Amino acid sequence: MLSLLGGLANFYDSLLRALREVLRDGSSAVFITVRKSLARKILAKYGFRIMSERVVEQGGIWSSIFKVVRE
């Protein structure tokens, strides 16, 4: 399980690093995840602020949809 989470952490890190380079200050993005605490940690690392969060069920799994803005 740890290697799976490590791979997901690396994926989120790469994704948010790329978004940080592509988006201008004040631009927003939306994504969905089941790993809320991991997402929050990496969002903060790259200077994104969570504008809103919606919790949804996907096939019996609770996920969060985050709308974030680059600051």
Q: Which residue has the tokens 């949809």?
A: 65
pLDDT of residue 6: 76
Place of tokens 């969570």: 50
Say what the pLDDT of residue 4 is. 56
CATH at 13? 3.40.50.150
Domain count along the chain: 1
Q: Give CA–CA dist 67/47, Å, rounded.
A: 14
pTM passes above 0.95: no
pLDDT at 7: 87
What range defines the domain where residue 31 resides? 2-70
Residue 71 clears pLDDT 60, i.e. is over it? yes
| 67 neighbors 50 (Cβ within 8 angstroms) | yes
Interval 3-60: pLDDT, tens: 556 788 999 999 999 999 999 999 999 999 999 999 999 999 999 999 999 999 989 9
